[in-house]
A and B are shown apart, each in its own frame.
Chain A
Amino acid sequence: HMSAPASSSLATRLFSGSLKNENALCILADSREIASGPDVISTLKAVHGIKVQVCSLGGCDYIVSNRLAVERKCQAELLSYGHRSKVAQKVQQMKSKFDRICIIVEKERLKAGDTKRVFHRTKQYDGILSAFIRSGIRVLFSSCQEETADLLKELALVEQRKKVAIAVPTEVERHKQDVLRFYLSIPSVGYPLALALCHSFTSIKEVANSSPDKIAACTQVSQQKAEEVYQYLHYGFDAQMLPETIP
């Protein structure tokens, strides 16, 4: 199941030559979304003709440009106090890797036999929406998975117009997979930046010897992000500072 969408998109790319088509929209989807949002992915592909690359994003549901990560949240999760810290933790993690974050609040699907559930708006719900807005997180509302797909496409289009679309190939040759994982282990590096590092530099050594300016220029990330990568590569390791319980 997991490899099916990836290999089919590879096949379409090889045969249609869409790699050369710079205007082809590309969205990265987390592999968990195959199970939790199957209609989002199929609508993106079938209705909107977007290239969806399924990969292990570890931390967010969709990435629509070099800087924008999107998280799908069902409405019920935002209604109660219990999920607050989980949502906050997720957002913090996304913020370390991406300049912009968007939350799509999606109405949950009614299960067969379920009577129409009434949505009781809570103070908690209004509070968390207010907190999103205050912190600059964009919020969109969707009534179903198909509508979520439509919103993802619109977001990707806006980002493309701002020239921050994912432009590098989203596949990485097998022998480079380890290199990709190496880049992904850097705390401030998200999937698009790791891909750009793989494709824009000849080796890890070249990245390690590059100035922040060069990293920024080659990968089109912000200067600040490039500085973070540079600092990380030069961070002086002190074994005594290693936490006792290593993750």
Chain B
Amino acid sequence: MASKTTAVRTGSVNVPYGHIIGSEKWKGSQIAQGIQGKVKLILEDGLGVVDFHLSNRSCVLYISEADLVAGNGFKRRLACFRNAFNLQGIVIVEKTPISDQYFPAVQKFVVLELGMTLLPVANQGEAAQLIIQLLCEQMKDRSSNLFLTKKPPKLLEASVFQTVQQIPGVGKTKALLLLQHFGNLHLLCNASVPELEGVVGQSLAQQIHAFFTQTK
């Protein structure tokens, strides 16, 4: 279980798999209630500037509508986090009709200046659902992520075939002949006019050679 010292000092909190560790101040809130139904939430004090720890590597900082309206206090909090932690910080911000006007400036600060992640929500209920999804994603195997899945090593034949057809005057038939004869693009690029003439006609051989060697 996490130590009682402030997270700013310890750097990270030990989060049991599939659990969320939240700051004591969220006790009884809509956000805590929203999470508790689905995921085990442990509330502790002394988390410092962090609101929720999702894993040993990532955590959530919550900025409410009131924080935004109150001024720049939240900026100090985020900068403090950025300097103290080596964790992925996800900032969730309440974007409501009242706080909407502040959003573009907050986004510039959080994403472009601090290089952290920012996600807008309309209320605490939405935040709870989003936090659950963030946790689900982190619990998944990396290979099941839609955008991380590595495709099996691709055969490049079709691409190389396409590339050769970018040479003016070369269509599918000539491209295949050239590749079968020269084997790869490097050798094709270095072929002399007589060598090319052995595969294609005289004028095309000159045209191909000119295409590869033409200078500015």
Cβ of A138 under 8 Å from chain B: yes
Cβ of B10 under 8 Å from chain A: no
If A187-B159, A205-B212 touch, whether A178 touches B166 (CB-CB below 8 Å) is yes
A-binding segment of B24-32, B78-86, B180-188, B193-201? B180-188
**B2-15, CB under 8 A of A: which get 1 and which 0?**
00000000000000
**CB-CB < 8 A to B202: which residues of A?**
none
Q: How many residues of A contact B (CB 8 A)?
A: 59
For residue A233, give the distance in angstroms from its CB to the closest CB of chain B.
5
Beta-carbon nearest neighbor of B155 in chain A: A241
Cβ of B34 under 8 Å from chain A: no
Q: Is the CB of A186 within 8 A of B137?
A: no
Distance in angstroms between the alpha carbons of A84 and B74 in the assembled complex: 34
For residue B63, give the distance in angstroms from its CB to the closest CB of chain A.
14
Q: Is the CB of A182 within 8 A of B163?
A: yes
**B157-187, CB under 8 A of A: which get 1 and which 0?**
1111111001110001000100110011110
- Which residue in A121, A123, A179, A208 is a CB contact (below 8 Å) of B211? A179
**Interface positions of A (Cβ within 8 A of B):** 84, 87-88, 91-92, 95, 121, 123, 126-135, 137-141, 143, 147, 150-151, 154-155, 158, 175-176, 178-179, 181-182, 185-187, 202-205, 207-209, 232-239, 241-243, 246-247
User: Given known contacts A130-B137, A134-B138, A203-B215, what 9 new A-B pairs fall within 8 Å (CB)?
Assistant: A91-B147, A135-B147, A178-B167, A187-B154, A202-B216, A204-B189, A208-B190, A241-B157, A242-B161
User: Which B124-149 residues sit within 8 Å CB-CB of chain A?
Assistant: 126, 129-130, 132-134, 136-138, 145-149
